[in-house]
Structures are given as structure tokens and as C-alpha cells.
């Protein structure tokens, strides 16, 4: 199951990144070559960056390649290092659930409920903020799965 999620997320991130590059390229061409700047490209680039940033953060957290200060674990004995890593996975899981999933879902709900739309694209901002609970679900899943794998490796 994890490989399917990884591959799907990788594909989505590649698509979003490619779309972001094309969008910004069109923004530059329309502004400097055609001397008629597009009104939607700047807003779209910001929204795409939100999605790439949040989903990318979930992806690298799942791969354990996120930015981390690993000075302390290096000097701990293996048993304490495992306990520290489990604690970190727990904190990440709790953050993902409480802030990203619960808070993000509330933000999405209120944007849809209030009918808040973007200025140029005129899309409901709930669609933009859907990246928060989706990223939270993925981050929580990865934290739980990483903790499970670490726990299994320490208990034969």
C-alpha cells in the first residue's frame, strides 16, 4: 500500500511542479515578450506552490529525508535512539492530525461555507486549502507507518 501512495504522490508532485513551471514561464513571456501580463498566472503560481509545498513536505517526511537536526540521536545508545525516533514520529503524527487535518478541515469547511473565492481565478478557496487536510492525512500515515516499521525492527 505504501508503494502505491508513494508512486501516486510522486506523480502528482511531478505534475504540479511541471504545471507550476509552465505557469511561471507563461507569466514571464506574457509580461516581457507580449507586454500584456496575464492576470491569473501570479495567483495560480501561488496556489500551486501551496500544494507543492504541503504535499512535498508530506512526501519527504515519509521518506525520512526532511530537514532534521540529528546531532542528538548520533550520540545516544541504539535503544534510546529508537525511543527518541518513536517520540518524534508521535509528535509529527499529533501535529499532522491536530493542525493539518483538524485545522485544515475547518479552514476548508469555512471557505466553502462562506463562499470565499479568489480574486483572479474566481475559484472557491476551499479547493486551494484542501492541500492542508490532504497533507495532514499523508503525513500522519507516514509517521504511523515509520513508527510501526521502527517498532518492528526493534522487536524481532
pLDDT in tens, 57-67: 999 999 988 77
Per-residue model confidence (pLDDT) at position 37: 86
pLDDT, tens only, 72-126: 778 889 899 999 999 999 999 999 999 999 999 999 999 999 999 999 999 999 9
Amino acid 155: pLDDT: 65
Tens of pLDDT, residue by residue over 129-154, are: 999 999 999 999 999 999 999 988 86
pLDDT at 60: 95
The predicted pLDDT at position 146 comes to 95
Contact (Cβ atoms closer than 8 angstroms) between residue 61 and residue 89: no
List, in order, residues 6 or more apart from 38 with CB less than 8 Å away. Answer: 26, 27, 30, 31
Q: Give the Cα separation of 17 and 141 in Å (integer).
A: 23
Confidence of residue 69 (pLDDT cuts 50, 70, 90): low
The CA distances from residue 26 to 31, 44, 115, 121, in Å, are 8, 11, 29, 16
Amino acid at each position: 500500500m505504501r508503494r502505491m501512495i508513494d508512486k501516486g504522490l510522486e506523480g502528482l508532485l511531478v505534475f504540479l511542479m511541471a504545471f507550476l513551471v509552465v505557469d511561471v514561464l507563461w507569466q514571464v513571456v506574457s509580461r516581457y515578450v507580449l507586454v500584456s501580463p496575464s492576470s491569473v498566472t501570479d495567483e495560480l503560481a501561488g496556489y500551486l506552490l501551496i500544494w507543492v509545498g504541503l504535499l512535498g513536505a508530506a512526501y519527504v517526511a515519509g521518506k525520512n529525508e526532511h530537514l532534521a537536526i540529528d546531532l542528538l540521536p548520533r550520540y545516544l545508545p541504539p535503544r534510546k535512539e529508537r525511543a527518541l525516533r518513536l517520540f518524534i514520529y508521535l509528535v509529527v503524527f499529533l501535529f499532522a492530525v491536530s493542525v493539518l487535518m483538524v485545522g485544515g478541515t475547518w479552514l476548508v469547511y469555512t471557505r466553502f461555507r462562506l463562499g470565499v473565492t479568489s480574486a483572479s481565478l474566481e475559484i472557491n478557496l476551499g479547493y486551494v486549502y484542501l492541500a492542508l487536510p490532504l497533507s495532514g492525512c499523508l503525513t500522519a500515515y507516514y509517521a504511523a507507518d515509520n513508527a510501526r516499521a521502527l517498532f518492528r525492527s526493534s522487536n524481532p
